[in-house]
Each structure stands twice: as C-alpha cells, then as structure tokens.
Amino acid sequence: MARRRSREKQPSREKQLLNEQLKIEEGIFDNRTMLRIGKLFNKGVLASMEFIIARGKEADVYLADAGEKVGSPLLALKVFRLENARFQNRVKYIDGDPRFGKVKGSVFAIVSEWCKKEYGNLLVAEAAGIHAPKPYAFSGNVLAMEFLGEEGKPAMTLREEELEDPEKTLATVLEDTRRLYAHELVHADLSEYNILLVGGEPYMIDFGQAVHIKHPDASRYLERDIFNILHYFEKKYGIEKESSDVLDFITAPA
Ligand SMILES: Nc1ncnc2c1ncn2[C@@H]1O[C@H](COP(=O)(O)OP(=O)(O)O)[C@@H](O)[C@H]1O
Ligand SMILES: [Mg+2]
C-alpha cells in the first residue's frame, strides 16, 4: 500500500491548484516570474489567477483572486516582461530621480527596479488621495494592485468611452494631477490610454515612469501630460483650456 505523506508536508489544495495553473501558463511565465508569483501567493496576497486583461509591450495585466491579506476579493496583477524587455530606453525616468540610485545590472534587476518604482509611485498616489489603483504588494517583476472594474469586468479606458459630463471628468483629472504634484510627483505618461473609468470617475494607471518633481525633466513631462489631456478633450469634446492657466493651477503652492 502506498505510504501517505504527512498532512504537514502536503501543499495546500490552493497551492496545488496555483502550481497547476502556473504550469499551464508556463509558456507565458518564465521560471523567475513563476517564483515571484509564488511569493505573492505565500504572502497571502494572491489566491489564484483568473484571466488576462491586457497584453502590453512591457507588461501583461491579469485579473486574479486575492488572498486573505488583501481586503477585497479581486486584484490586478501586472507582470513585467523579462524577455524582449525594452527597459533601456526607460532608464531616463529613473536616473535623475532623487529617490533612486543609478540603474545597473541584469534585465531582471532593471525590470524589478521599474516594478518597485511603479509600486512606490502608487503609494504616493494613494497618499495624495487621487483616483488610482491601491498598491497591494510587489515581488521582483510582479505588481499586485487594486482591480479597477465592476463585477470582474475590467474598466474601459477614457479613449474607449463616451463621457456624459466631459467638463467634470477633465476637472477631476486636472485636480488629481495637481494633488499628485503637491505630493511631488509627475505622472509623465498621462493620456486617454492611461485613464480608466470606474463608476464614471477617471482613474490614473500606469505609474512606472512617474518622476519626482526634482527630476531634471519633470517640468517637460508635466507640460507634455497637460498637452496630451487638453488636446484629447479639445479634439473629442471641443473643450478649450489655456495650457498655461492649467500649468499655473497644477503647480501653484498650496
Ligand atoms: N488596476 C487595474 N485594473 C484593471 N485593469 C487594469 C489595471 N491596470 C492596468 N489595467 C489594464 O491593463 C492595461 C495595461 O496597463 P498599463 O499599466 O497601462 O500597462 P502598459 O505599460 O502596458 O501600458 C490597461 O490599459 C488596462 O486595460
Ligand atoms: Mg499604459
């Protein structure tokens, strides 16, 4: 008769399921990424993977069931690519930011630094009280954050939606940009693609490239963010605003 392994030594049912899932996903996740996903599982952040929400050049985003450490049933898992990572041209968003040292090392080290930076930037967004996903945890190249969507259905981007009250939405985006700036951060990749609509409210996402206001290019990035947003609202909704007024509003001392 086959000897039964002791209960303690057997991985939990959930862990077995996750391992099976990860094996299925093996074509997508390399070993190091699987290890990091496993770490989030062990920390009680992650329970199981659901489905892929978006496939990007630098990262894929998945819907997942949250573990007991997260106070909500779902989360979004952003998995930064290790192969074909094009992070070299993004190093400029880290170098020059007084919060970080010089970036060097392997692709894994650079990608992990980027992931950590997005996590840190999301913490600043949370402290600023703006509409953005809450960061839960990160490990290496994997970031767990609040899932934006309703009933498991991922939120649409600003680009994909027809706004009921575009003036109000624009005002919220500019107010959040002001609050973020008051917390010494510039998003630096703000556009209709990096804003999701949840319950009619605009949520900023994709904070990897956000820089501290002391970064030498911070004001150029802020002007570009303002340009992108104003240009979109003017083109699509005919709302005209003077960019210099908006810049003054965002950077005015509190
Ligand atoms: N917290 C989230 N909740 C729901 N969907 C998300 C979340 N974060 C990202 N997404 C989805 O994944 C896409 C890519 O995420 P993003 O952070 O913009 O990465 P990329 O660097 O690839 O542009 C988004 O356009 C959105 O559809
Ligand atoms: Mg994006």
**pLDDT tens-digit readout, 142-189:** 999 999 999 889 999 999 999 999 999 999 999 999 999 999 999 999
Residues 63 and 175 in one domain: no
Same domain, 141 and 209: no
How much distance in Å is there from the Cα of 242 to the middle of ligand 2?
A: 26
Taking the centre of ligand 2 as the mean of its atom positions, its distance from the CA of residue 206, in whole angstroms, is: 5
Residues 138 and 177 both lie in one domain: no
- pLDDT reading at 137 higher than 50: yes
Please give the average per-residue pLDDT across 55-83, as a whole number. 93
Query: Ligand 1: which residue has its CA nearest to atom 1?
Result: 147
Cα gap 126→112, rounded to integer Å = 21
Residue 7 lies in a domain: no
Mean pLDDT of 101-119: 87
- Nearest atom in ligand 1 to the alpha carbon of residue 205 is 17
In a domain, 19, yes or no: yes
Choose the final residue of a domain: 119, 150, 181: 150
Judgement on whether residues 142 and 205 belong to the same structural domain of the protein = no
Ligand 1 atom 14 nearest Cα: 54
What is the crossing angle of helices 166-182 and 218-237, to 10°? Answer: 170
Residue 4, classified by CB atoms within 10 Å of its CB into exposed (0-12), middle (13-18) or buried (19+), is exposed
For residue 148, the ligand 1 atom closest to its alpha carbon is 3
Domain stops at, among 100, 121, 150: 150
Q: Are residues 61 and 73 in the same domain?
A: yes
Q: Is residue 239 part of a domain?
A: yes
Q: Looking at ligand 1, which residue's alpha carbon is closest to its atom 20?
A: 56
Name which of 46, 38, 45 is nearest 11 in CA terms: 38
Are residues 108 and 196 located together in one domain of the fold?
Answer: no
Which of 45, 224, 67, 37 lies closest to 142, judged by CA? Answer: 37
Domain membership of residue 33 (yes or no) is yes
Distance between Cα 222 and ligand 1 center (Å) = 21
On the question of pLDDT at 14 being above 90, the answer is no
- The burial class, CB within 10 Å (0-12 / 13-18 / 19+), for 149 is middle
CB 207 within 8 A of CB 186: no
CA 114/CA 140 separation, integer angstroms: 9
Instruction: Give the residue, by CA position, lying nearest to ligand 1 atom 22.
Output: 56
65 is annotated as an active-site residue: no
Q: Residue 7: what are its φ and ψ, rounded to 5°?
A: -55, -40
Is 97 part of the annotated catalytic residue set?
no
Nearest-CA residue for atom 11 of ligand 1: 54
Residues contacting 131, CB < 8 A, separation 6+: 172, 176, 198, 201, 202, 203, 204
Among 65, 189, 217, 225, the active-site one is: 189
Per residue in 73-103, pLDDT (tens digit) is 999 999 998 876 666 677 788 888 888 877 7
Residues belonging to the chain: 254
Lowest mean pLDDT: which of 28-32, 194-198, 206-210?
A: 28-32
Say which CATH number the domain at 179 has: 1.10.510.10
Cα(252) to centroid of ligand 1, in Å? Answer: 30
The DSSP result for 28-43, as a single string, is: TS-HHHHHHHHHHHHT
| Chain centroid to CA 93 | 15
Q: Is 229 inside any structural domain? A: yes
- Cβ < 6 A, ligand 1 pocket: 53-54, 56, 58-59, 61, 76, 78, 133, 145-149, 154-155, 157, 194, 205-206
Catalytic one of 206, 225, 245, 248: 206
How many distinct structural domains can be found in the chain? 2
The domain of 59 spans 14-150
Residues 76 and 125 in one domain: yes
Determine contact, residues 29/23, Cβ cutoff 8 Å. Answer: no
Q: In terms of Cα–Cα distance, which of 195, 186, 191, 176 is closest to 221?
A: 186
pLDDT above 60 (res 27): no
Same-domain check for residues 117 and 198: no
Q: Examine the domain organization and report whether 119 and 179 are in the same domain.
A: no
Q: Quick one: tokens of 89?
A: 């041209």
Token pair for 236: 């699509």
From 130, 150, 170, the end of a domain falls on 150
Same domain membership, residue 63 and residue 30:
yes
Give the sign of the dihedral formed by CA 229, CA 234, CA 236, CA 237.
positive
Q: Which of 56-70, 73-87, 123-137, 191-205 has the lowest mean pLDDT?
A: 73-87
| Whole-number pLDDT of residue 106 | 82
1 within some domain: no
Residues 143 and 164 in one domain: no
CATH of the domain at 76: 3.30.200.20
Q: Which ligand is nearest to the CA of 153?
A: 1
Task: Looking at the CA of 208, name the nearest ligand.
Answer: 1
